[in-house]
Structure formats: C-alpha cells, structure tokens
Amino acid sequence: MATFELPSRSVTPDPVAEPQPSTQLQRAIGSLGATAIVVGTIIGSGIFLVPHDVALEVGTVSAVTLVWVVGGALALAGSLSLAELGAATPEAGGIYIYLRDAYDRLPAFLYGWAALLVTDTGSIATLAVAFSIYCSTFFPLTPIERKLVASALIAVLTGVNIAGVRRASTVQVIFTLAKLAGVAIIVGLAFFARRLTPLAPPANYSSPQTTLSSFGVALIGVLWAYHGWHHLAYAAGEVKSPGKTLPRSFLLGALIVIAAYLCANFAYLRVLSLPVIAQDAYQRVAAKTMEILWGPRGAAFVSGLILCSIFGATNGSILGGARGCFAMARDGVFFSRVGRIHPRFHTPHVALLLQGFWAIVLAISGTYEQLYTYVIFTGWIFYAAAVLSVVVMRRKRPGLARPYRVLAYPILPIAFAAAALMIVLNSLLIKPLESGIGLALVLLGIPIYLYWSRASKTDS
C-alpha cells in the first residue's frame, strides 16, 4: 500500500502542544470509493425537495431541464478544475491547499476558518438534523430526542471515520449504491406505470415567467442540490493513484449525479406536471410522486430513501471536512494537535473529533441555521478563487507535473469563477445584512491567523 508523506515544511509545532507524530496518511481510497464520495456527498435531500423551488421560478419544462443542466455543468467545471490541482498536489486539505499554494496562507486560513466555523460543520449539522426529522416518520420523536438522534449520527459516523478511511469509504460506497437504487426505483415506477396522466394544474394557476432573474434564483436552489462536489479534494492525500483516480472520479461522479437528477425530475413531471409541483402542498415532491404511484407505502419508501441519502451525505461530509483543519494544523496556523494522525488507524483523529464536537454543538443549539445563512455566500468566493488557482498555478509554476489538465482551459475555470461571483453579488444584493455579517465572521479569522503565525515564528 502506497503512502504519502506530507511536506516537512508544513509541519510547524505550536507553543502549547507536543510535536506531530511521524505517522502518515495512507492511500486507501480506490476509484470506486472516490466516485462514491463525489456522488454520495452531493446527493443528500436536495433532489427530493428542490424541484418544488425551481417550479416556483421557471414556467416551462425546458427551463427546468436547462437550470438542472447548468447547475450540473458548473459542478462539473469546478470538479474538473480541482481534479487538475489535486492530481498535481495530492495532499489532504483540498481547497485549503490550493488557495495556499496559489495565493498565500492567509486566504487559505480564512477558508479553513469559515469551513470549521460553520460551512462544513454547519452542513454536517444540517444533514444530521434533517436525518432526525425524517426519523420521526417511523418513530415519533420529541424535540429533545431529535437532537439526541442528530448528535448520535454525527458521533457514530465520526467514530467510523476515525476507525479508518477504508471503513469510511466502504460505508460511502454502500449508501451511495443504495440511494442510487432508490432513485432508480422512483424513475422506473414513474416511466413504466400504465395509463398514467400527470395531475392537472389548479384552475387559478398562473405560470411564472422565466426571466434571467428568476432563472438565477432557481439556479441557487439547484446549486444547493449539487453542493458537495468539492469534498473529494479534501481527501486527495488518501486516494490511490491520484493522478488517474481524481480526474476519473470527479468526472464520473458528476455525470452520474447529473443523470440521476435529470431522470428524477422527468419522473416527477411524468406524474405531477410542473404547475402541480409548484403548489405548496407538493413541496415534498418525491414523497407525493411515490404516494400516487405506490400509495402510503410509497411515501414511507421515500422517507427511508431520504434517510439513507442523508446518512451517506453526512458520512462524506465528515470524511472530507476534517482534512481542512488538519492541513491548517500541519501548516502551523492552528493547534498542532489537530494535525496528529492516529498511529493505528492512520486517520486525522483529532481533527475529526474537533469537527464532530463542533457540529454536535451547532446541531443541538440550532445556531447553525443563522450562522449558515450568514457565511454560506462567502464559500462561493473561496470556490471561485480555488478554481481560478488552476490559471494562477499554470503561470506561477509552469514546470509542475500535471498528470491531468482540465478540459477547455482556461474557459472552464474562468466560466465557473464568473458564475460563482455572480452568485456572491446576487447574495449581496438580496441579503446585504446577512452577507455583511458573514463577511465579518470570516474576517474575524485574520487576528487569529496573525496570532498563530506569530506564535509559530516565536516557537521556531
């Protein structure tokens, strides 16, 4: 089994912790596991709920199809750009590493700070809370019991990830295949049902006009459904043959998700019709579709499918997210204990424990909802900068070995960055207060970064 030793320059002890142990992350994730991380982390609950939000904004089936294709194309463009960076610098840490190498450690730290503060941990908390809510379909739970279930999910999957990346990868493969099988069942029942006529729209229904603005609003919801496309990059330091595996898995995973999302939407439209999907009573579009096709058992099936889907997405988010603060610790701008690797399991166990603890705090307190609203738009600033790192690194280090080069360079990374910045500007216009608070929370990381940098220099 091949191993990858992180560069010695990135191992800097802090003044209050013991030195890093000389263990290494192991390359234990193969092509199947890597593809499952892409697919399983992206497909959460979005495809079962977002089609309703899209139907509220665009009024034709062709516009619905286009918005899902555009969202998938953006995710694919971002994925393939990160594949070039990951294949060239296959370290654990993902976007943190690419921002550090292309720009400087400060913007990289601010990304890691935002990810640890809420974007990654808040995403985990969101998924865990959603899991507890859907559990209530089968087992009535009080609010306190829901918080306990959400916390238990985070704790169990954190333990699985500590016990070995191979085990976490196996869990990801199993639940990814299960959720794809579930989507295939919905699609199959919808398309092979006999004498099926889509439900007619209400008499007073007025179809929304598809404009550039409404298309953009619909696209934001679709991009949430595609969220998680970058998580494989976090685990690049543990992927076998990263020069080949990363590009292949990013490409294949994104195409699988796009195909699954389009097929699911066509299945919904086969049963409900677009005007019906836009009605508030049909917000849980997948459950309503299966209820018509299979009765109460169909609705229960969808609830179980969503639980399975959320479970896999939570596992993928936990697997990837911890590698960001792990990389920060290895760079000497965070507690060096967080950069430790378990001597037996060869996983960043302290980083995983820290991430799990904070995600549980957010899930129990409920504050992740407001924090996530504040900070999520800044994530797209970092995504744009990370993808543009492809262009920066081509100029900065032209001699760097690149086992894979992104297709349609530089059009693909520039197009993605332009779209991401449009999303940021739209957020600033629609929610200036929340965006301003989010930016302030991210910039709060600057004094923290300066403290750690000064402490590291003093210690050395």
∠ CA 98-101-104 to the nearest 5 degrees? 110
DSSP one-letter code for 40: H
**What pLDDT, on the 0 to 100 scale, is given for residue 368?**
66
With residue 4 as reference, give the H or E element that holds it.
strand 3-4
Contact indicator for 290, 301 with CB cutoff of 8 Å? yes
Going from the C-alpha of 187 to that of each of 47, 174, 184, 269, 330, the distances in angstroms are 13, 20, 5, 11, 46
User: Cα–Cα distance between 375 and 369 in angstroms, integer?
Assistant: 10
Identity (one letter) of the amino acid at 416?
F
For residue 335, is it within any domain? yes
**What pLDDT, on the 0 to 100 scale, is given for residue 193?**
84
Q: Three-state SS for 306?
A: helix
Identity (one letter) of the amino acid at 173?
V
For residue 306, is it within any domain? yes
For residue 15, is it within any domain? no
CB-CB neighbours of 2 under 10 Å: 8
Size of the chain in residues: 460
For the chain, what is the domain count?
1
- Find how far residue 47's CA is from the centre of its chain: 14
Contact indicator for 223, 216 with CB cutoff of 8 Å? no
User: Cα–Cα distance between 12 and 330 in angstroms, integer?
Assistant: 6
Greatest Cα pair distance in the chain: 76
**What pLDDT, on the 0 to 100 scale, is given for residue 128?**
92
Show the domain range for 65. 26-455
Q: Three-state SS for 93?
A: coil
**What pLDDT, on the 0 to 100 scale, is given for residue 403?**
94
What radius of gyration do the chain's Cα atoms show? Answer: 22
161 Cβ contact partners less than 8 Å away, ≥ 6 residues apart = 167, 168, 315, 318, 319, 322, 347, 352
For residue 400, is it within any domain? yes
**Angle of helix 61-88 relative to helix 242-271, nearest 10 degrees?**
170
**What pLDDT, on the 0 to 100 scale, is given for residue 220?**
81
425 Cβ contact partners less than 8 Å away, ≥ 6 residues apart = none
Contact indicator for 226, 71 with CB cutoff of 8 Å? yes
User: Cα–Cα distance between 458 and 460 in angstroms, integer?
Assistant: 6
**What pLDDT, on the 0 to 100 scale, is given for residue 460?**
55
For residue 11, is it within any domain? no
Report pTM.
0.88
Kindly write down the DSSP assignment for every residue of 205-226, as one continuous string.
--PPP--HHHHHHHHHHHHHHT
For residue 225, is it within any domain? yes
Mark the ranges of the chain whose per-residue pLDDT is less than 50: 1-22
For residue 316, is it within any domain? yes
Going from the C-alpha of 122 to that of each of 36, 317, 453, the distances in angstroms are 22, 10, 27
- Find how far residue 56's CA is from the centre of its chain: 25
Tens digits of residue pLDDT in 84-137: 999 999 998 999 999 999 999 999 999 999 999 888 998 899 899 889 988 988
Report the CATH number that the domain containing residue 330 is assigned in CATH: 1.20.1740.10
For residue 17, is it within any domain? no
**What pLDDT, on the 0 to 100 scale, is given for residue 454?**
81
The sign of the dihedral angle between the CA atoms of 153, 157, 158, 160 is positive
User: Cα–Cα distance between 164 and 138 in angstroms, integer?
Assistant: 31
Going from the C-alpha of 285 to that of each of 18, 216, 264, the distances in angstroms are 53, 21, 10
Going from the C-alpha of 209 to that of each of 266, 336, 433, the distances in angstroms are 21, 54, 29
**What pLDDT, on the 0 to 100 scale, is given for residue 251?**
95
